[in-house]
């Protein structure tokens, strides 16, 4: 293994890399304190960790909806798994560890409540409401870090996160649903808002590492959680053992096909088989095993009929919230209309009012008083802008918040 260490060092996102200047570019200057010892990418990680969107991940679905089990993976645990895997790979290959950490921690900031099912529900609402663009969580994560989440600067003014190009790029290009077994970064420095889902590779090798790590992270953990919820029968466990045994060339028990063992196997195999000529690559047998495990998970976990009742509930929750907020649209009088019902629906009425004040032109005086210095992204006189405000608001919700808001609508 030693001869394989640091073989990507000359491709790391550092000052001697020809992509460096573009990689550390921000959309606006970032204020600095004297003696700040952090690198550009370390500052990105800190800004993500301090963001509201990151904190909400602890109550967002990974696979199992609105779980009350402390030991079942939620979205915040998933992003930390991805960060851990990415840093291990980056360290071994000689890449920039700070960059992979920033991308990994931020890659799901725009994920919807109720996991990928929530993503599907929001996409269908947008299609029904006449949106030209489609909803996909990678692009929504970019939207949240560019326009939604804010942090107070050193003067107390609340500004957008304003992350580096390399971090933003890795986030919008992170989709782990890749079928090719050779991943290399693209050469083009492009407008990230023009990226289409699954069409572009990341700009850096660090972004590619996170892309692969995302897939490694969820495969084993989802099996472990599903096993604890008794999703598998004896035949399923035999199937999974056979998949792993074919590749690992040793007898194993089903309980050994877990997060730790699979992560170790895939990380080691990737580091041993990757090189600058071929890119990030698994051996053929390990790549085949990964695809077989993924197929097994889709058949036995993600498509399991035990999810169906909650999937129907999630659809009811998100559609009801969208319809409720649409009913109170009145242009510049929307806040006035919402306030009449705040005693009945305090969560939605008050919080969405705050959302409009922060991100729209509905009350610029209050916007200034609250020290908001974020970009205004909605014109409340434009109906499609108002619909977009609701979509953004809903997509940022945690499972628990969405359920709380829905209960206010149905309880008297």
Of the candidates 200, 221, 74, which has an alpha carbon nearest to the alpha carbon of residue 138? 200
3-state secondary structure of 280: strand
- d(C-alpha 22, C-alpha 16), whole Å: 12
Q: Which of 235, 269, 303 finishes a domain?
A: 303
Tokens coding 94: 């000689």
Task: Provide the 10 A C-beta neighbour count for residue 163.
Answer: 27
In this prediction, residue 256 carries a pLDDT of: 65
Q: Please enumerate in sequence order all residues whose Cβ is within 8 A of that of 35, keeping only pairs 6 or more positions apart, or say none.
A: none
Residue 384 shares a structural domain with residue 289: no
Asked whether residue 294 is domain-assigned, the answer is: yes
Asked whether residue 124 is domain-assigned, the answer is: no
Residue 337 shares a structural domain with residue 357: yes
Residue 316 shares a structural domain with residue 277: no
Name the domain count of the chain. 2
Residue 280 shares a structural domain with residue 315: no
Q: Which of 274, 303, 332 finishes a domain?
A: 303
Tokens coding 28: 């606006």
Asked whether residue 119 is domain-assigned, the answer is: no
Residue 381 shares a structural domain with residue 235: no
CA 297 to chain CA centroid, Å, is 20
For residues 237-248, one letter each, b for 16 or more C-beta atoms within 10 angstroms of the residue's C-beta and e for the rest, the string is eebbbebbeebb
Residue 8 shares a structural domain with residue 80: yes
- d(C-alpha 292, C-alpha 45), whole Å: 34
CA 112 to chain CA centroid, Å, is 9
Residue 356 shares a structural domain with residue 226: no
Residue 289 shares a structural domain with residue 228: yes
Residue 166 shares a structural domain with residue 196: yes
Instruction: Kindly report, residue by residue over 114-143, the tens digit of the pLDDT.
Output: 999 999 999 999 999 999 989 999 999 999
**Per-residue pLDDT of the chain in tens (412 residues, 90 and over written 9):** 566 677 999 999 999 999 999 999 999 888 777 778 899 999 999 999 999 999 999 999 999 887 788 888 999 999 999 999 999 999 999 999 999 999 999 999 999 999 999 999 999 999 999 999 899 999 999 999 999 999 998 788 999 999 999 999 999 998 856 666 889 999 999 999 999 888 899 999 999 999 999 999 988 788 888 888 899 898 988 887 787 777 666 666 666 666 787 888 899 999 999 999 999 999 998 899 889 889 999 999 999 999 999 999 999 999 999 999 999 999 999 999 999 989 999 999 999 999 999 999 999 999 999 999 999 999 999 999 999 999 999 999 999 999 999 999 998 8
Q: Please enumerate in sequence order all residues whose Cβ is within 8 A of that of 280, keeping only pairs 6 or more positions apart, or say none.
A: 182, 183, 184, 205, 208, 209, 212, 270, 274
Asked whether residue 116 is domain-assigned, the answer is: no
Of the candidates 320, 325, 308, 312, which has an alpha carbon nearest to the alpha carbon of residue 383? 325
For residue 62, what is the domain's CATH number? 1.10.3210.10
- d(C-alpha 275, C-alpha 93), whole Å: 9
Q: Which domain holds residue 191?
A: 2-109+149-303
Q: Which of 276, 303, 330 finishes a domain?
A: 303
Residue 265 shares a structural domain with residue 198: yes
In this prediction, residue 164 carries a pLDDT of: 98
Residue 256 shares a structural domain with residue 354: no
Asked whether residue 365 is domain-assigned, the answer is: yes
């Amino acid at each position: 293994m030693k001869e394989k260490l640091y073989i990507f060092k000359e491709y790391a996102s550092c000052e001697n890399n020809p992509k460096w200047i573009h990689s550390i570019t921000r959309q606006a200057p970032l204020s600095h304190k004297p003696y700040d010892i952090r690198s550009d990418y370390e500052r990105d990680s800190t800004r993500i960790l301090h963001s509201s969107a990151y904190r909400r991940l602890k109550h967002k679905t990974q696979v199992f909806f609105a779980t009350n089990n402390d030991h079942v993976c939620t979205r915040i645990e998933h992003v930390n798994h991805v960060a851990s895997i990415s840093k291990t790979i980056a360290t071994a290959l000689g890449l920039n560890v700070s960059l992979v950490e920033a991308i990994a921690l931020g890659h799901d900031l725009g994920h919807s409540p109720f996991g990928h099912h929530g993503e599907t529900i929001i996409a269908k609402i947008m299609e029904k409401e006449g949106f030209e663009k489609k909803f996909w969580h990678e692009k929504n994560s970019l939207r949240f870090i560019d326009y939604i989440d804010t942090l107070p600067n050193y003067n107390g003014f609340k500004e957008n996160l304003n992350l580096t190009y390399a971090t933003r790029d890795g986030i919008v290009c992170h989709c782990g649903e890749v079928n090719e077994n050779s991943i290399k970064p693209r050469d083009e420095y492009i407008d990230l808002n023009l990226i289409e889902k699954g069409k572009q590779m990341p700009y850096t090798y660090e972004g590619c590492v996170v892309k692969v790590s995302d897939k490694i992270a969820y495969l084993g953990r989802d099996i472990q959680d599903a096993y604890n919820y008794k999703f598998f029968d004896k035949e399923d466990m035999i199937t999974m053992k056979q998949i792993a045994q074919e590749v690992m060339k040793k007898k194993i028990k089903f309980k050994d096909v877990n997060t730790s063992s699979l992560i170790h196997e895939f990380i080691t195999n990737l580091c041993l088989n990757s090189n600058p000529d071929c890119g990030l690559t698994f051996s053929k047998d390990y790549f085949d095993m990964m695809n077989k495990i993924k197929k097994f998970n889709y058949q036995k976990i993600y498509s399991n009929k035990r999810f169906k009742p909650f999937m129907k509930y999630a659809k009811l929750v998100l559609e009801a919230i969208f319809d409720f907020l649409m009913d109170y649209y009145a242009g510049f009088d929307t806040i006035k209309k919402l306030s009449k019902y705040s005693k009945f629906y305090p969560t939605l009425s008050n919080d969405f009012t705050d959302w409009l004040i922060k991100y729209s032109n509905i009350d610029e005086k209050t916007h200034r008083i609250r020290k908001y210095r974020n970009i205004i992204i909605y014109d409340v006189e434009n109906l499609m802008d108002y619909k977009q405000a609701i979509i953004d608001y809903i997509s940022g919700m945690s499972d628990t918040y969405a359920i709380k808001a829905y209960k206010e609508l149905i309880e008297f």
